[in-house]
Amino acid sequence: MSLTILVTGGAGFVGSHTVLELLNAGHEVICVDNLCNAFGASNSKLPESLKRVEELAGKSVLFYDVDIRNRDGMRGVFKKHKIDCVAHFAALKAVGESCRIPLQYYQNNITGTSILLEVMEENNVFNFVYSSSATVYGEPQKLPLDENHHTGNCTNPYGKSKYFTEEILKDLCQSDARWTVISLRYFNPVGAHKSGRIGEDPNGEPNNLMPYISQVAVGRRLCLKVFGDNYDTPDGTGVRDYIHIVDLAEGHVSAIQKLVSGELNGFVVYNLGTGRGYSVLEVVDAFSKASGKDIKFEIVDRRPGDVAISYADVSLAAKVLGWTAKRGLKEMCEDTWNWQRSNPNGFAGSN
């Protein structure tokens, strides 16, 4: 069944890859993005990431340069299109940065989502896929982390913004049976599309491990900062569940298919990860092998808000959504390197 799907934050890393997979699955996609986390519009009046998505898919994307906090702007988009479902990616997303500017995170991630939901309700659109995060679990009380793990004991404002929004969505679904919400708790998205045409292109200094490593490998940065080597882990560095961005995008396609099937109701949650954790130094070693480059790094103090180990129990997504991650760390590193060496300065510096 072909759907018309509104994708917020569609020009960003997760958004653009998901837009491509939705187009490949036969859906019509409308994107809104304020471009705060994406390279700006090209001569085609599309952000460069979405211009390349169109090339890869051989299909067009409708794009609106609108901030989700702009109520009238969002109303205008809904008035122009009959939308079946919203996939909501628009958010500020860096753990460390959220500790420095928490008000901006709460304003964008919580207030922005609330305005979006109100505009959806005005237009009788009640199918919603939410881009959540494993950070809602806080310090793990058990591993692997399953969907029944306690949430809310978050260690940083970014995680709190995702947790608070999930609570809003729960209350909304309890108050009105018309709503069906799937919250997808991501672990750590990395990698790039196999073509090397789209990938992660952070503005300024990367806040996440893989793009920082790849920028060191390509010569844009001198050295990787490793935040702490005294965690209770095999090599002392933090352990995370990394998931290939295309696996993550395919997870959204599966979630949307389940959402509109009518089999679900209310608020439901699924983890999207691989179920396997890798330490920072394991990722550095794997990337060095994939790129053939020596990755210089230095150990610095721990970063506020980080936990030692986090990895997912992904059995529920497999059971209900019929989705499992297929790509391993080797492929994540190879695809990231293919993207980075083809686009050494990101979207801004290549054709």
Residue 199 is predicted with a pLDDT of 97
Q: In the predicted model, is pLDDT for residue 84 greater than 50?
A: yes
- What is d(CA 43, CA 32) in angstroms, rounded to the nearest whole number? 18
Q: In the predicted model, is pLDDT for residue 40 greater than 60?
A: no
Q: Measured at the alpha carbon of residue 20, what is the angle toward residues 15 and 25, in degrees to the nearest 5?
A: 120
Give tens-digit pLDDT for 161-214. Answer: 999 999 999 999 999 999 999 999 999 999 999 999 999 999 888 888 999 999
pTM: 0.96
Tokens 């491509």, residue located: 20
Share the mean pLDDT of the chain.
Answer: 95
Residue 269: closest CA among 137, 139, 141: 137
Give tens-digit pLDDT for 222-259. Answer: 999 999 999 999 999 999 999 999 999 999 999 999 99
Helices (H), the chain: 13-24, 48-57, 71-80, 95-100, 102-106, 112-122, 157-175, 209-218, 245-260, 280-291, 315-320, 329-342
Find all residues with CB under 8 Å of 39, minimum gap 6, and list them: 11, 47, 48, 49, 201, 346, 347, 348
Q: Which sequence positions are flagged as catalytic?
A: 158
